[in-house]
């Protein structure tokens, strides 16, 4: 196993070779980030305050397809994926990831350029068992989907 492409490279080793090129190209993103980053929301310490800083409690929407593990393999790096069903929810311009029980619940924000298929995937830290929220902003309204991720001490299985 492992050799999954004709070049005989795993995707990981392929990226290791090519990522050097991308780092240089990615630098100007930092300048953009400062303008987009909702500093106040990132500093909030409760779920309620985070929602307030983003503009209110979002409405639940089935248009947000939110994938998280039921039980985290490693609470320090929990993979989350947000897809938007554009037949239900159109014109999404921002996607937020919120981890309810973290000291600062807002974990990530993604800017979605107009006329693109919204999709975000990242790793977030989850300090303890609790709800994760994917929030989408569309036409000034906030929508959300929540899922519980359990963080366990591990062991004793089987």
What does the binding site for another protein look like in residue numbers (CB under 8 A)?
1-2, 4, 10-12, 15, 67, 69-74, 79, 129, 148, 150, 152-158
- Closest CB to another protein among residues 11, 30: 11
Q: Are 63 and 85 in contact (CB under 8 A)?
A: yes
Which tokens sit at 29?
């993103």
In angstroms, what is the minimal distance from the CB of 62 to another protein? Answer: 15
DSSP assignment of 23-78: HHHHTTHHHHHHHH--HHHHH--SHHHHHHHHTSPPEE-TTEEEE--SB-S-TTSE
- Closest CB to another protein among residues 58, 63: 63
In angstroms, what is the minimal distance from the CB of 92 to another protein? Answer: 20
Q: What is the CA radius of gyration of the chain?
A: 18
In angstroms, what is the minimal distance from the CB of 95 to another protein? Answer: 19
In angstroms, what is the minimal distance from the CB of 112 to another protein? Answer: 21
- Closest CB to another protein among residues 114, 157: 157
- Closest CB to another protein among residues 6, 155: 155
Q: How far apart are the C-alpha atoms of 127 and 107, rounded to whole Å?
A: 12
């Amino acid at each position: 196993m492992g050799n999954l492409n004709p070049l005989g490279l795993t995707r990981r080793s392929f990226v290791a070779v090519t990522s050097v090129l991308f780092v240089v190209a990615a630098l100007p993103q930092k300048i953009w980030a400062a303008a987009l980053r909702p500093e106040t929301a990132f500093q909030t310490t409760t779920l309620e305050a985070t929602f307030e800083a983003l503009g209110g409690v979002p409405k639940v929407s089935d248009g947000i397809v939110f994938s998280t593990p039921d039980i985290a393999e490693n609470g320090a790096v929990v993979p989350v994926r947000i897809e938007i069903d554009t037949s239900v929810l159109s014109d999404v311009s921002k996607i937020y990831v919120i981890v309810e029980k973290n000291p600062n619940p807002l974990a990530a924000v993604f800017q979605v350029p107009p006329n693109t298929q919204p999709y975000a995937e990242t790793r977030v830290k989850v300090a303890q068992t609790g709800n994760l929220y994917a929030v989408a902003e569309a036409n000034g309204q906030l929508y959300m989907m929540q899922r519980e991720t359990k963080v366990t001490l591990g062991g004793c299985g089987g």
